[in-house]
Amino acid sequence: MIPAPSGRLEKLRIQAFATPDYSGAPENEFLAYVNPSEITLAYEIEYDAAQGSGTTSSRMNFKKLKPGDLSLSFFIDGTGASGRPADVQAEVEKFQQVTAYNGAIHRTNYLKVVWGTLQVKRCVLKSASVAYKLFRPDGVPLRAVITATFTDNSDDQTRVAMAQDQSPDLTHRRIVKAGDRLAAMCQKIYGDPRLYLRVAAANGLDDFRQLVPGTEIYFPPLEK
């Protein structure tokens, strides 16, 4: 359900973090001078093509979902035509400070792109260009367009939580809780409780009937 308009102008924000888990308050922030009129979200899926000899088509086996890209442009106006003249060069430098290399962490900042009802995007800067459109007679830029592309970035814990991979052809690890039984765990993961002997062997379990709570069990990729 789309929320009712609040009547309040909300600026697109790019927040900079120094830690890969995005903990704490942002260290820096860039506010769009004019909100973008278009945002492009792009993603790519990678497959392995399995084709038998002498066939004319192939079966596309899923391999991975590549990090998605978000592309947008920021317009900055220093002429005052919009009623609020900006220091164009200062705005460009602010964008670069927030998104580019951070010497304290020896890499680019970890970023969040936040605007309205769009899902908060955890990302890093992939590419950016600045086009200066108008100049004063003394060479001071009066208009600029920043075009930027950001690519998805998630720490391992967040990535796994978002993916929620439950397929039996993937590796799984589970922490044993009181009352857990190996056959029941195999039923949930593989859809086949009879695989409990193979899981027990993979974990070197001698007594798989009495699982110790708090123990981590490794469930390898298995075929029925």
13-161 CATH pick, 3.40.50.1820, 2.40.30.200, 2.50.20.10, 3.40.50.300: 2.40.30.200
Give the class (CATH, top level) of 168-219: alpha beta
DSSP designation for 83: S
Positive or negative, the CA dihedral 21, 27, 32, 35 is positive
The per-residue pLDDT string of the chain (224 residues; one tens digit each, 9 = 90 and over) reads: 445 455 567 899 999 999 988 888 899 999 999 999 899 999 888 887 766 555 556 677 777 778 889 999 999 999 988 778 899 999 999 999 999 899 999 999 999 999 877 767 889 999 999 999 999 999 999 999 999 999 988 644 444 444 444 555 556 778 888 889 999 998 888 888 889 999 999 898 888 888 888 888 888 877 65
Phi, psi of 34 (to 5 degrees): -130, 130
Alpha carbon separation from 29 to 38, 105, 111, 183, 194 (Å, rounded):
21, 17, 9, 51, 54
Task: Kindly list the domain boundaries of the chain, sorted by start residue.
Answer: 13-161, 168-219
